């Protein structure tokens, strides 16, 4: 049973064979794995719960996942550098590069042991305002109060960087409020908007849009080009119309790669997890469509070396690592 607490497709037959070969030694003893993603209101937490349930079922209980809530990718990477036990976590690859370079806030910890497992749905940046406001573009946020993601999170840093690139950073007021309170603050006109960064559709925005007419801001083509020039790791993404209630036009926004990584994980467990993931990805996409865009060709973008237990697996599938 899954324990949750707060603190281009491969051939199925080949994947199933790989999973069966590695699950045999795992079955001899239970393997406990901590899965860590983001806050319980985010799509990444929902993904981790789904992954945990899938891994428990596919291994017939041999792998025992515990899903932990997190404040975000910065916390995940920081914990990866110091915590014991098999640990699977999500983060954009640039934070791993920062950690391995010893940049703040990753001055302490062993980050050289972080290994790539598989891609996750990319982080999509949502800039949310009220539909009845006169804020129609990102430039209109100048002079407004705006919550740029959770304090100290990757989202907050990414949005701050975008505002800096677009020349509005000094004129946007950042209220002293956490992201968890942002929907209520927007509803009560305490703030003009907020940013949340998660795979789309993100549950928090879905819930808000169901009861409050909202607008999710689009970037212009010139704005997106400037953001990509300043941050080559970012990419343009278009969220389809009607993804959120009342938002009947496409949303031209930005996205950032995300991967699932591991520390302190033995080769058999890593291979069992990766094999099960690719075997079940299509079925998971039937339940949550965000998995549909996860393909093997994204693996080389994830920065950290492949886990030693899955190098041969990906080589057999024709994934060329840099």
d(C-alpha 54, C-alpha 298), whole Å: 22
Burial class (CB in 10 A: 0-12, 13-18, 19+), 27: middle
pLDDT at residue 26, as a whole number: 52
Tell me the mean pLDDT in the region 237-243. Answer: 91
pLDDT band at 207 (very low <50, low <70, confident <90, very high): very high
d(C-alpha 251, C-alpha 238), whole Å: 5
- Listed in sequence order, the DSSP H helices in 236-288 are 267-287
Residue with tokens 């999500």: 90
The tens digit of pLDDT for each residue in 36-76 reads 988 888 889 999 999 999 999 999 999 999 999 998 899 99
Tally of structural domains, the chain: 2
> Are residue 225 and residue 298 in the same domain, yes or no?
no
Q: Is the pTM of this model over 0.85?
A: no
Residue 195 has pLDDT above 50, yes or no: yes
Q: Give the residues across from 90 on adjacent strands.
A: 260
Average pLDDT, the chain: 89
> Are residue 49 and residue 116 in the same domain, yes or no?
yes
Tell me the mean pLDDT in the region 118-134. Answer: 96
**Structural tokens at position 301:** 């973008």
> Are residue 113 and residue 146 in the same domain, yes or no?
no
Percent of the chain with pLDDT over 90: 70
- Collapsing DSSP to helix, strand or coil, 112 comes out as coil
In the listed set 256, 283, 299, which residue is the last one of a domain according to the structure?
256
Q: Which residue has the higher pLDDT, 10 or 171?
A: 171
pLDDT at residue 58, as a whole number: 93
Structural Rg of the chain based on CA atoms? 20
In the listed set 256, 274, 300, which residue is the last one of a domain according to the structure?
256
Residue 3 has pLDDT above 70, yes or no: no
User: What CATH code is carried by the domain that includes residue 198?
Assistant: 3.40.190.10
The tens digit of pLDDT for each residue in 91-109 reads 999 899 999 999 999 999 9
The answer to whether residue 322 is domain-embedded is no
pLDDT band at 13 (very low <50, low <70, confident <90, very high): very low
Q: Do residues 40 and 202 make contact, with C-beta atoms less than 8 angstroms apart?
A: no
Domain that holds residue 183: 123-256
Contacts of 64 (CB under 8 A, 6+ apart): 3, 30, 31, 32, 33, 56
The answer to whether residue 321 is domain-embedded is no
pLDDT at residue 15, as a whole number: 45
The tens digit of pLDDT for each residue in 263-308 reads 999 999 999 999 999 999 999 999 988 898 898 888 988 989 999 9
Q: How many CA atoms lie within 13 A of 69 on its CB side?
A: 8
pLDDT band at 29 (very low <50, low <70, confident <90, very high): low
> Are residue 246 and residue 272 in the same domain, yes or no?
no
């Amino acid at each position: 049973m899954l324990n949750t607490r707060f603190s281009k497709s491969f051939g199925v037959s080949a994947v199933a064979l790989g999973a069966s070969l590695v699950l045999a030694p795992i079955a001899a003893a239970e393997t406990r794995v901590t899965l860590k993603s983001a806050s319980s209101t985010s799509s990444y937490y929902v993904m981790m719960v789904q992954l945990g349930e899938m891994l428990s079922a596919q291994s017939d209980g041999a792998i025992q996942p515990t899903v932990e809530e997190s404040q975000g990718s910065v916390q995940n990477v920081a914990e990866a550098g110091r915590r014991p036990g098999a640990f699977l976590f999500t983060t954009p690859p640039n934070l791993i590069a920062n950690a391995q370079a010893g940049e703040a806030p990753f001055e302490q910890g062993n980050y050289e042991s972080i290994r790539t497992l598989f891609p996750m749905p990319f982080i999509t940046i949502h800039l949310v305002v009220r539909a009845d406001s006169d804020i129609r573009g990102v430039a209109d946020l100048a002079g407004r109060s705006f919550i740029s993601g959770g304090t100290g999170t990757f989202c907050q840093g990414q949005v701050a960087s975008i505002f800096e690139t677009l020349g509005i950073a000094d004129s946007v007021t950042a209220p002293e409020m956490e992201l968890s309170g942002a929907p209520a603050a927007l509803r009560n006109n305490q703030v003009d908007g907020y940013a949340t960064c998660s795979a789309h559709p993100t549950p928090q925005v879905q819930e808000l849009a169901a009861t409050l007419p909202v607008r999710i801001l689009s970037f212009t083509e010139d704005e997106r080009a400037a953001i990509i020039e300043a941050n080559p790791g970012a990419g343009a993404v278009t969220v389809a119309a009607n993804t959120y209630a009342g938002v009947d036009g496409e949303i031209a926004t930005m996205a950032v790669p995300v991967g699932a990584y591991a520390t302190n994980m033995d080769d058999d467990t890593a291979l069992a997890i990766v094999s099960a993931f690719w075997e079940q990805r299509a079925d998971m996409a039937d339940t949550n469509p965000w998995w549909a865009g996860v393909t093997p060709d994204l693996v080389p973008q994830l920065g950290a070396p492949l886990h030693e237990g899955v190098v041969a697996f990906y080589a057999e599938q024709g994934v060329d690592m840099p």
